[in-house]
Structure 1
């Protein structure tokens, strides 16, 4: 059982090779400019998010207060579902995606981390390298460079079925280095087709292991349930017909782990550290358990069952 304790990504951690600009005019983003007046519904980028003008800004000094300034309350509204194209993979949602034709590349300098999780991928290939600082030596060899096609479930699917692309990738046991430079690239075979990444988390992987073992301690009976937030709107209709309103999709997971009793305090501390945060988790690295992975908020209980063993019950509410 693996849970990624995330590190907050800030603008200072981006390297020069990142190919999505701070304000991406290619997707229609416009930066807020001090001293400019704005009308209702104008949308401008300030910091990591897009803000919408909800009350006209027509004079000084109001037009000198950035949308994120507390003095702009009532004039600008932060759109929680619209981070900038560059910062989209670093919010709490998977549906907010960084998009770019051909490929999406991030170069990150996060300091001490042991792993990375990438979800909401739309692409044909993924590559990942870790260097000892810009231009430094490779810390992992060979460099990750793989297709994103998922393996077929059987011969018929392989020959005639609709093979699916993988949507997530995780990497563990990165070498510890203070100047780690991590380069992540998702690429399309056709350079005119849009590539996208929905969620990137870097940090330290935490493992819940079975007693006296280096194997995952998750017990059989893990449950993954799909969540569809679509709904039907029949309010304007009187004839039984309705409009299907497309909603977001998510995966919830419920499981139990058996761990060494001595690890119970560390397990409780981990739950405290990730409480209220969107984190990446996976039950196992084995392909047959690849469906038991998601990004979401984790709550749980730690119970001391016997002298040598304890149990951890986890509920993961998947993020959209």
Structure 2
């Protein structure tokens, strides 16, 4: 039976959420490709990871080697190349992250396999794989159809798929490490967390996003009052970053971050595809915009057509009153 590989991303003893999202996506695509979902786990002392992955895959290929404890593109490339040559997966999914983008291009070149990066949807049509990604600075969405090849490599954005445990019970295959003594031109030294200010919008449960409709920076206190009332963090669309009101780390969308809050409140955001591409993981979207034709209402669960400066102060006071 054919296989669909998903490369497991882990850091500091924890499997990253995007791994489970990609395993769910692979499970949906697997039957159409006649493929067996295979989690590819490279690391050191991997048994705890194996137990976490069992309900998510048909099969786990595990390579346990102390030299794989921390991600190293040179070492991972050598191991992944061997596994792909041995198992011939029809599709290999890799997270679109620093981890994935350090590895995927050189791996594809080594194996002479087609690579498409930064995808956020895949389809199987009549047995043919197509992938959706943006082009020309996010101005165009393009479905990429692959020429016939023995396999394909895709890097996928966070929140491209909803993580849903499939109830599988994976077979575990432990593979001897193929690494030689001299494996890498680089070596791991330490993790240094990037400075993201006072919040990480990708981890927030409630997010308020602001756009051009806020008009000017002096109006920010009105929005901040609502954020404080509901316990939300502030995010924004690209024009707000370009205006210098909020830092780049707060931008949601194709050129910013993908988020998956329980609640997203869009204030004065028109809802271009570049922005809404970052909202696929949101549970509930509420939009306030005075333009009834704004695209944001096409993705919103609840919408209010009105001036946000009439709605937001009232909403803030009502929430404060409910909280006592």
- Tell me the TM-score range normalised by the shorter chain: under 0.3
Structure with more of its chain in helix, by fraction: 2
For CA contacts below 8 A with separation 6 or more, give which structure has more relative contact order.
1
Structure with more of its chain in strand, by fraction: 1
TM-score by length of 1: 0.25
